[in-house]
């Protein structure tokens, strides 16, 4: 007897489970970005209250606004990815995937420009806490961009 057929079926099932798990995890990735951006907005607000330098206060205001904007976008992507992973009907899956793809494109469309601006601001910062927050924000934007681009069909 040849065990080739059962092994092939087992391999196919494992691949399908892996693909299903990947789609499910994607919502968690967006949710993690959402939480990180929320934390960055809070940190920026707290740092803003403790500083006197008007230039750094303005940069922190920009950090706060950017963090809140991308938190909302990441939350939207998390909700759509979760919705997609729970669709049963093939027509619904296709529709949800199309909406997620459109939202991903919109959500990350400004990231390259925002990264350029944030990276330019890094040279102006003198306070270590503000610099660290800027680096964290830049890194999380890159993570969000990578996740959105990697999840496209």
Would the pTM count as exceeding 0.75?
yes
pLDDT on residue 133: 96
Q: With 90 as the cut, is the pLDDT of residue 153 above it?
A: no
Q: With 80 as the cut, is the pLDDT of residue 152 above it?
A: no
CA distance 90 to 7: 27
Confidence of residue 32 (pLDDT cuts 50, 70, 90): very high
DSSP 107-149: HHTTHHHHHHHHHHHHTT---HHHHHHHHHHHHHHHHHHHHHH
């Amino acid at each position: 007897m040849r065990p080739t057929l059962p092994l092939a079926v087992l391999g196919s099932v494992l691949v399908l489970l892996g693909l299903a798990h990947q789609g499910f995890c994607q919502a968690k990735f967006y949710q993690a970005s959402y939480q990180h951006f929320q934390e960055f907005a809070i940190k920026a607000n707290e740092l803003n209250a403790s500083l006197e330098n008007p230039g750094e206060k303005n940069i922190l205001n920009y950090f706060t606004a950017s963090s809140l904007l991308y938190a909302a976008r990441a939350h939207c992507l998390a909700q759509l990815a979760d919705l997609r992973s729970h669709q049963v009907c093939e027509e619904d899956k296709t529709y949800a995937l199309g909406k997620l793809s459109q939202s991903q494109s919109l959500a990350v469309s400004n990231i390259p420009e925002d990264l350029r601006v944030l990276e330019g601001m890094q040279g102006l910062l003198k306070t270590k806490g503000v610099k660290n927050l800027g680096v964290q924000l830049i890194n999380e934007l890159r993570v969000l961009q990578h996740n959105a681009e990697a999840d496209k069909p």
